[in-house]
Amino acid sequence: MAGVPRNQLMVERIEAAPLDGVVRFAFAGDSGAWWDPTADAIYSALVEQVAGLDPAPAFFVNLGDFAGPGTPDRHDHYLRQMEALPIPNVCVVGNHDLDDLNGPDVFERIHGPMNFDFACGHTRFVAIHAEGGEPGRADFPGYGTADGTRGPRQRDLAFLDERLSAAPEPNRVVLMHQPPYLDGHYAPHPDWGFKRGETEFLEIIRRHGVTLVCCAHGLAFDHTVREGVHFVMSGGGGTGLCSHMRGVCTEGDAHSEDRGALFHTVVVEVAEDGGVAGRVLQAFDREEAKLRRF
């Protein structure tokens, strides 16, 4: 299988594994937007925690900004980190994975197309490129202007629409790095969410009955539901945390914050009827009983 892109190899493992009932998977993002040994230590701890989950998730997704600036050595470094994880794992491209001028070519050579999809049991997963910037432009033209942050390109939205249209599975999940704007939901950082292309994106996912959108980009945990669609942001993979958002201390047991500045992964279960439940696993927390459910 020499030369086969890594995401393709992982997708083949995911689709070949027998699965009945609930679809369980884990995800995190923003684990390596740039070289940072502290981020590496945090992410390695999260990978170890995911590896120890029982029952094991069917797969793990890194939602982007894992190999910034997108050079071959940074991708190699990331892949060495993932050797500790026995379950299949795929990568979604993030903006910092494209900071280098050769970032797109390097990503596709190692991982395969930035837009891809796969099935896991009764659920179709569609991963798309959601960055509107240009390779080598960390400032991302259009980012935070009056027109709003750029989101998926037209070809990314066309791929999303086509793959959801063709999906035979009753349940659908979208994987992407940058979330939509959602009426400025991510304030005081509304530009975390893309405004340009949002209307078309939301129309596509609603028309095709998507129940869950998994994203990162914002350096925190966030969960909100809009018109029956769960939007879960997991940007606590190690790169940093947003100083504007609270931590995880709340009254009561087994409740996550709506928004939490914590290093974490998210474990999600999709039921056969499309119901979504999730738990937040904080870095270095060894007691699964303390997982905070949303």
pLDDT in tens, the chain (294 residues): 458 999 999 999 999 998 879 999 999 999 999 999 999 999 999 999 999 999 999 999 999 999 999 999 999 999 999 999 999 999 999 999 999 999 999 999 999 999 999 999 999 999 999 987 666 555 444 444 556 789 999 999 999 999 999 999 999 999 999 999 999 999 999 999 999 999 999 999 999 999 999 999 999 999 999 999 999 999 999 999 988 877 654 444 544 556 788 999 999 999 999 999 999 999 998 765 455 667
**Structural domains for the chain:** 6-10+22-293 (3.60.21.10)
What are the residues whose beta carbons fall under 8 Å from the beta carbon of 286, sequence distance 6 or more?
A: 49
55 preceded by cis ω (within 30°)?
Answer: yes
| Residue bearing tokens 């709506």 | 258
CA distances from 84 to 44, 48, 93, 178 (A): 8, 7, 21, 27
CA distance 229 to 179: 13
What is each CA distance from 205 to 44, 93, 120, 285, in whole angstroms?
A: 33, 20, 19, 34
Q: Nearest to residue 123, comparing CAs of 294, 281, 275, 279?
A: 275
Surface-to-core class of residue 62, CB atoms within 10 Å of its CB (0-12 exposed, 13-18 middle, 19+ buried): buried
CA distance 69 to 32: 9
188 preceded by cis ω (within 30°)? yes
Identify the H or E element spanning 229: strand 229-234
Q: In whole angstroms, what is the distance from residue 205 CA to residue 11 CA?
A: 22
Taking the alpha carbons at both ends of the chain, their separation in whole angstroms is 40
Q: In whole angstroms, give the CA distance from residue 135 to residue 145.
A: 19
Radius of gyration for the chain, computed over Cα atoms and rounded to the nearest angstrom: 17
